Amino acid sequence: MRTLLNRATIFAVGLAFSIIALPASAANWVLDPGQSIVTFKYSYGTDPYEGRFSNVEATFDIDPMRPGSCNFDVTIHIEDIEVDSPEVLDYLLDYELFDVDTYPTATFKATNCRLTGVNSFEADGQLTIRDQTNDMTFPFELSIDTCDGQVCFNLTSEVELLRLEYGVGQGYWANTAEVPNEVTVTVDVFALQQ
C-alpha cells in the first residue's frame, strides 16, 4: 500500500511539474479530434457490434498545482455516429434509441477528480443523454505524451453504461432480451494545450 501511495505521489508531482514547465495557460487543454477515438460496444442477440462517436468536442482545465482538481466539458454529436451498417445507423438515430432530431448531443461535465493509483483517476460528474442526466463516476488513466512535437496528454478509459437509464430504448428497444441494457464505452483521447 505504501509503495502504491509513493508511486501515486511521484506521478502527481511529476504531472504537476510537467505542466508547470509549460506557459501559464497550459492548465487549459482541448481535445485533438484527429488522434482521439471514442467507441461503444453492444450486442444484438449473440452478435457483437461496435460503433464510433466521430464528432467529439472536449475541453479540460487541469490545475498544475492540484492534479486532482479538474474540469471536464465534453460534447458528443450523436448524429455523427459511425457504424458498418446503414440500417443499424437508421435504428440508432431514430426516436426509439438516440432520437437525434430532438436530442442531437450527449454531454459529460465533471468538476472533481481524485487520484486512485500511479496514473489513474476518477472524475465525479454528470452524463446527459436524451435529456436524462445521471451522476457518474468516470475512471480514467492519464499520461503526458508528445503530439507532433507539442506536449499533450493521453486519457484512456473504459466504462459500462446502462442505456435505459438515459432513455436509449423506447418501445421494442426497451426489451433487453435481444439488446442488453449494458453498453461499453471506450475512450482513447489526446488533448493539446489551448
150 Cβ contact partners less than 8 Å away, ≥ 6 residues apart: 192, 193
Computed from CA positions of residues 186, 140, 67, 144, in that sequence, does the dihedral angle turn out positive or negative? negative
Q: Cβ(113)–Cβ(121) under 8 Å?
A: yes
Residue 188 pLDDT grade (very low, low, confident, very high; cuts 50, 70, 90): very high
The closest alpha carbon to 64, from 123, 139, 6, 144, belongs to 144
Q: What is the pLDDT of residue 194?
A: 78
Can you give the pLDDT at residue 107? Answer: 98
How does pLDDT run across 77-108, given as a tens digit for each residue? 999 999 999 999 999 999 999 999 999 999 99
Q: Which residue has the higher pLDDT, 6 or 59?
A: 59
| pLDDT tens for each residue of 11-34 | 444 444 344 344 333 368 999 999
The residue segments making up the domain with residue 109 are 2-193
Per-residue pLDDT tens for 124-174? 999 999 999 999 999 999 888 888 888 898 999 999 999 999 999 999 999
Number of independent structural domains in the chain:
1
In this predicted structure, the answer to whether residue 36 has a pLDDT above a threshold of 50 is yes
3-class secondary-structure state, position 27: helix
Amino acid 27: pLDDT: 62
**pLDDT at site 69:** 75
Cell numbers placing 114: 481524485
Per-residue pLDDT, 16: 41
Report the CATH number at residue 62.
2.40.128.110
